[in-house]
A = this chain, B = another copy of it.
Amino acid sequence: MSFTRPEPPYYAVIITSTLDADNLDGYAEMDARMGELGRAQPGYLGRESKTDADGHELTVLYYRDAESIAAWKRHPEHREAQRRGREQWYAGYHIEVARVERAYGFERE
């Protein structure tokens, strides 16, 4: 995993999305800006993300609590990015807000 999690409970936002390959003007800049701004939000913990060659992305963003997620969703600059995403960059996306109840794992010595 790419960052150290706190003890549960905490929150995960699971995003499956598909970019529209023909309409990516301005996307890279906005994506970089949203990454920078998003990482600076109160309650942001970290992320896991994988994208395949045809623009299908699976991302999990982690937050301390549900209020941190709601606050980021209504951030003015992020709202504008969401609007442009729906109008232009994304063919579709699906977002799930989930409460992590338990976690475990192992790492080879």
Contacts and interface: CB of A to CB of B under 8 A. Distances in A.
Interface of A: 1-2, 5, 8, 12, 14, 16, 20, 48-52, 56-58, 60, 66, 86, 90-108
Contacts of A51: 50
B106 A96 contact: no
Copies of this chain per assembly: 2
A106 B60 CA distance: 18
A5 to B, nearest CB: 8
A56 B43 CA distance: 26
Given A66-B101, A97-B103, 16 more contacts: A1-B94, A12-B12, A12-B96, A14-B48, A49-B58, A50-B50, A50-B51, A58-B60, A60-B60, A90-B108, A91-B108, A92-B106, A92-B107, A92-B108, A93-B105, A96-B102
Among A94, A104, A107, the one with the most B-chain Cβ atoms within 10 Å of its Cβ is A94
11 contacts: A14-B60, A50-B57, A58-B58, A90-B106, A92-B107, A93-B106, A94-B103, A97-B100, A97-B101, A98-B99, A98-B101
